[in-house]
Structure formats: C-alpha cells, structure tokens
Amino acid sequence: MNDGHKTETVVPEPALEEITPPNDAVTRRPRHAQYAKTAIRTVVLYDLAETTTHADITDVVRGGMLLEVLIKTHDRSAQISFLHAESAQAFYNHVRRHDLYIRQKRVNIKWSDRQCVLPGHVSHKIGSGATRNLIVRRCSPEVTAESIRDDLEHIHNLVIIRISFEAGSCFIQTNSVYNAMFARTCMMSRYKYKGSKVEWDADGCTAPLESLVVSKTQARAAAAWSKVELTAMANRFHILDPGGLSSEDTDETDTFASQP
C-alpha cells in the first residue's frame, strides 16, 4: 500500500458463499459525509491472465466506488478496495455466483487479509466529491496525454489508467483516490493548467452489478476460441522451425503487466 493508505492485518470471516460483514463495518455518517475508517472492504482477484492491466480490472468491477486498485505482479492478483463494505460484499457475492472473466480467463475472488484503512482527511475529501478520476476542463492545446503522464510521474504508486480528450476537456482515470488527490493538487499548481479547472469525475465502477452479468456460455466460448487461435499459431510456427524447440529449451519470462 502507498504512504497515504495505512494497512493493518485483519482476518475476515471464512470465505463462505455469503459473508455478512460486521454492522460497524458499514457505518456511515451521511450528514457530515464521513465514512467508516476500518471495514471489511478489500477483496482480491487472483489467477489473473499474465497481461492483465489496471484498465482490465476497472472495466469489470462494478457495484460501488473504489478507493484503490493495486496489481501484484508476483502472484498475478489484484487488490481492490471499495469505499463501502456493503459494496465489497455485494461484488464478492456476485462473482461467487456468476463467475468473472478477464481477458477470456475465469478469475477467482477472496477477501484480503490486509484491509484498506480510510484516513480521516481522505474521507473528508470524498465527502466533498473526491474520486479516483479527474476532469481537466478548458485544456490548453499544449496539454497532451504524454505531458500529463510526465507531470504526474513523481507521485508514488500513482497509476494513470486512461487519458482521453473530448470537447476541450481531458478525462483522467487513476488507480487511487488518495493519489488522485495528489495529482489534482499538483496540476493546479502548474502554470500550464492555470486557465483550466480540475474537477472530480465520476467513478464508472459505481455502475450496477447487473451490468456485469454475462452468459457463462459466451465467456467459455470466447475462452475456447482464444485457445484455438493460440494452438493454431503455435502449430504454424512449429512447422516453420527446423530445430523444433521443445518447451524445455525455451526461456519463459514474466510478462505480467502492472500498467496499461
């Protein structure tokens, strides 16, 4: 976890089909827009495809606002922290019931043994509208996706998932509310953004879970077709290779990507 998100070891209840988080884990104070500091809000997607990116994760996670998404390259997993414990619970149950496919590969879900702790100042900012995404309105012509990445590359653990431009505005998706707060402060302090307005954008992961329902038959068919294509390609190169190298002669490297 980054410096802004302290973690503490929490042992959730056993990963049963239905897990009900403690009542105090979902406590919210709507009047002052305060949210639970500690909660069972972090899940882990594992058995990911080697090329899985942060964009692949945020494209399929639904049901609630996210605090942070972290990809762990060494074990091909993604740690996902929701703002609300009930959102994490609903997503967990949904994946257990309906399965989840990322890059034509079925992935598994479990509760993380290290739950995200929400600092008070971040909670306050979220109450004022902060999310992990930004909009830069009235962009200067000199602002490009590359220049934005250069301006923000110094922010530790910040992953810029996507940058797009539309109607004079720039839309920036990141992996973390806390890091997006730093990014916004940084951009507002730079001269090139003086004529712009840096605002918070909606988190697409708040879309209903129902939008994730995909026919298992369709998902399995896509996975099967992908395997057929890979087999055909392997056979074609095997024919062209006079040496006929076996898998024991090749040097496999880790191509698991942590950024898009």
pLDDT value at residue 33:
58
Average pLDDT, the chain: 80
Percentage, residues of the chain above pLDDT 90: 65
Q: Kindly report which listed range (69-78, 81-90, 250-259) carries the lowest average pLDDT score.
A: 250-259
Interval 12-66: pLDDT, tens = 444 434 444 444 444 344 455 579 999 999 999 999 999 999 999 999 999 999 9
Domain with CATH 3.30.70.330 in the chain: 7-119, 129-204
**Residue 248 burial (CB count, 10 A):** 5
Instruction: Please name the helix (run of DSSP H) or strand (run of DSSP E) that holds residue 216, with its range, or none.
Output: helix 216-240
* Sheet of strand 169-174: strand arrangement: 160-166, 169-174, 133-137, 197-201
Strand locations in 11-145 (E) = 28-29, 34-35, 42-46, 66-72, 77-82, 100-102, 105-111, 114-116, 133-137
pTM over 0.85: no
The whole-angstrom distance between residue 183's C-alpha and the CA centroid of its chain comes to 17
Give the pLDDT confidence score for residue 23 in this predicted structure.
45
- Per the model's pLDDT, the better-predicted residue between 93 and 14 turns out to be 93
Question: Could you name the CATH architecture of 129-204?
Answer: 2-Layer Sandwich (3.30)
Task: Annotate 50-63 with b (16+ C-beta within 10 A) or e (fewer).
Answer: eebbbbbbbebbbb
Domain covering 7-119, topology: Alpha-Beta Plaits (3.30.70)
**Given this model, what pLDDT does residue 250 score?**
31
Instruction: Bin 63: left if φ > 0, else alpha if -120 < ψ < 50, else beta.
Output: left
254 pLDDT more than 60:
no
Mean pLDDT on 178-195: 95
For 131-158, letters b (16+ CB in 10 Å) and e give bbbbbbeebbeebeeeebeebbeebebb
